[in-house]
Structure 1
């Protein structure tokens, strides 16, 4: 009887603690954290309907993070950024030799410059890789050619076959006197072994883990991931896009088959802006105090690579993350592109979960006669996210959008949007709420008819390997699929 009493007492205490935590969590969501209404409602529902599971979920993935001055800008960087923005304003106002395509989109350039301090540069060239093998071949070659420094950052870094190739190159470059920094996300790179990390550090490579886990198993910032993929070599060459470092990106994982992604190789002045983003992330993670003169003096950004002379391509490097509560900078860029479209908007994303603003923007584009086409994978890597994506994409069919699911033997991971043979964006941000609100992301917005046409042709070629999901096909889906979509959509703000 005494044992039963103590069990009941312990149970009552546990329940009381759960409800107390949930009550405090709800108060925190409603009055302290400035989250989107949909996200707040979703979390409140989870905490009320599933008190025990909701309590655990909220403690693990639902808490906010400190947002004030997370990536502190020092005086030296502030001078660089202010000079860049001033140069952007002067160039847009007084440069009468700007390409007509750039002049037409001054409003968008200003919007991203004002919301994100996104410097606009024109002395750039771009190579688009729609084949992962081509990207990795180029990356390996440029890493081998490094003379001064390598700054490399990936959400996922594995020490498998391709990962070890890169590790060996990084170690060899250190032996040659090249300064090497490797930054990875702790959760995304959970399969990156301590043995390889130690090997890199012992060789002289500087290594940092973003939001590290406690004892490798507990991560108090599990819900906030650094999803950026950045490589800067000698200040001359930069890489940005969707690929991570892992054999599956080379099509060697039978679960996914061929991996379809898009990555960019950049040269020119935009590489400086990409490097600033890396250094801000690096310093927050490692607290290393870098000598910025070494990385941002003008002579560091003269092209000495094997590439052709830079063309006159306009680029803005735009980053976003949960450290800034009032702005969703990359999402604003996507919305602005859709709003400006007169002829077409083509979107590729492995995850397609929209808030009301983006949903309405795409609906208005469809109703305005814009050819809106959306391409998502044909199979899920995260089932709930995939079912929610199907729901949001399917909703747009009745407004005239066209929906494609990419090759059943492949996985589409590209994050691209292109409009009117005029502007395209390629980077790390998916078309989903998580990328806009919870992940740290970076995209290149490119103002070039030449590059936009290339991206349109890539999309058109991908259609040949895709299945079009018409309104009739979508409406004939099973009751079970409708149920899965409904539940997933309800949870979509927290997926």
Structure 2
């Protein structure tokens, strides 16, 4: 008996020692540190395998490769805008509130996100409408098409988009595609081969063309959704390329998402982000070359619209969590209301506190989440935080008409954000994201009205809703919450 006890104690001691060494040898915040220690100690041996796939950080060399990619075509504009800012020549001060001006300056300093004005913006909330317009724009492209998606499945809509890209390449249009190998898992090995045989280029982000198994990391994924056509038209938002985003999978039903089509200089900012991601991706590729700056990629123009936009990015390559800072700034500046749609509600302490302060101060804070999970642990953690926010006077609604995947925030009818970043740890710290922060009352009111329409398909959560849940369900929520920093 003593021998068995000693063996168990020794195994536990050695496992704990290795867990401490493994976790503390890489810099991370305290919440993630404790979460990984919990996993490694609760699951001896197996926990280290999980850490290998989901916990190990990108090497400093790899991050540096991404960091050094210059914002081609943007650097001089950033310097110029900072000069114009000091002389009050940059922003339409008669239109933007003081809070919006402060937010715009935050992004200019924190992310070198240039302010672009006179953009035309079209909002898509339905996959059929979004893909129909995207296909039309691809068919009318004249010079180049740059596409970057977390998910590019080889299903019906995937083949339809691929066919349109092949036709464009045949017309002499330059086609480049970045896809995330983990997000596009299950994709056939030679899916992009017909496009490449025509001269087009397709590269997996942090992966291998041979198989997604060559990219085992669960974290540090390219979660961005970017399309740039001729440097004039840009797409950004939550839709990926796959049949489920058209509501064709019974598991999810109708897919409710939000995407923007932008015509104007905001497309130039999206182009810059694509340049950086492409050049980092093809660094070791023998088949694709980096893009070099050319005027045709950055055709500065004065659009016919009225929307001011900043394209803001964030990711593990930068310790400044620019998108999260933007969310915090918008929330803290709100006077009347804050409406948020997110599929994953797993905020860190700073976001939780800021939302709570806003709600307790009389600001109407409404958050819409899905009514069904696509990831079990993530959804249980979402429920936990929803209940916590409910106690802080935040109104929580679950969307019943399918799956809610939109990532939007609207504040006071003045500012809004649409992009790829969820309100969770993963989007703040672990994945590469991009959002459009928009300064336009008309667009913000449109998104506010869309939120109000979605409320007709929602159930408002109450304390009674959570009190009726089983003890087992509550245990899963509490346990998932402990793992939230690494979910």
Same fold judged by TM-score > 0.5?
A: yes
Is residue 2:175 matched to residue 1:180? yes
CA contact (8 A) 2:69 2:280 kept: no
- Once residues 79 and 135 of structure 1 are traced to their aligned partners in structure 2, the CA distance between those partners, rounded to angstroms, is 28
Q: Deviation digits for residues 93-130 of structure 1, max 9, x if unmatched?
A: 42387153425222111111111111111121211111
Q: Does 1:416 align with 2:408?
A: yes
The equivalent residue for 2:380 is 387
Write the mapping of 1:57-76 to structure 2, written as runs, cut at 5 A. 57-67=50-60, 68-73=63-68
Distance 2:118 2:93 in 1: 12
Q: 1:273 aligned to 2:269?
A: yes
Instruction: Give the Cα separation in 2 of the matches to 1:357 and 1:146.
Output: 43
Look up the match of 1:396: 389
Contact 1:101–1:449 under 8 Å retained in 2: no
1:316 aligns with 2:317: no
Rate the CA distance shift 1:448–1:150 in 2: closer, same or farther, 3 A. Answer: same
What is the CA–CA distance in structure 2 between the aligned matches of 1:400 and 1:97, rounded to whole Å?
Answer: 35
Report if aligned partners of 1:262, 1:426 keep a CA contact under 8 Å in 2: yes
Q: Which residue matches 1:339?
A: 332
- Counting only pairs closer than 5 Å after superposition, residues 140-179 of structure 1 correspond to structure 2 as 140-179=135-174
Which segment drifts farther, 192-201 or 482-491?
Answer: 192-201
| Within-5 A mapping of 1:181-220 | 181-213=176-208, 216-220=212-216
| 1:372 matched to 2:365 | yes
Aligned equivalents of 1:236, 1:371: Cα separation in 2: 37
Normalised to the residue count of structure 2, the TM-score between the two structures is: 0.92
List per-residue Cα deviations over 1:424-447 (Å, max 9, x = no partner): 000000111011110100000001
**1:21 to partner: Cα distance:** 7.8
Is 1:86 the counterpart of 2:55? The answer is: no
Structure 2 unmatched ranges of 5 or more: 284-288
- 2:486 maps to 1:494: yes
SS state at 1:128 partner: strand
Q: Distance in 2 between matches of 1:395 and 1:74?
A: 41
Aligned to 1:440: 432
Aligned positions, number: 471
Q: Residues 172 and 88 of structure 1: is their aligned pair in 2 closer, same or farther, counting only changes over 3 Å? A: farther
Q: Which residue of 2 aligns with 1:264?
A: 260
RMSD after superposition: 2.2
Q: Distance in 1 between matches of 2:50 and 2:457?
A: 39
**SS in structure 1 at match of 2:196:** helix
Instruction: Work out whether 1:100 is the aligned partner of 2:94.
Output: yes
Do structure 1's residue 246 and structure 2's residue 242 form an aligned pair? yes
Deviates more, 1:143-152 or 1:116-125: 116-125
Distance in structure 1 (CA, Å) of the matches to 2:463 and 2:478: 17
Is residue 431 of structure 1 aligned with residue 426 of structure 2?
no
Distance 1:78 1:360, change over 3 A: same
Inter-partner Cα distance in structure 1 for 2:13 and 2:215: 23
Which range moved further: 284-293 or 396-405? 284-293
Distance 1:401 1:116 in 2: 30
Residue of structure 2 in register with 1:122 after alignment = 117
For residue 310 of structure 1, give the secondary structure of its aligned residue in structure 2: coil
The Cα shift of 1:323 comes to 1.1
How far the C-alpha of 1:270 sits from its partner, in A, is 1.0
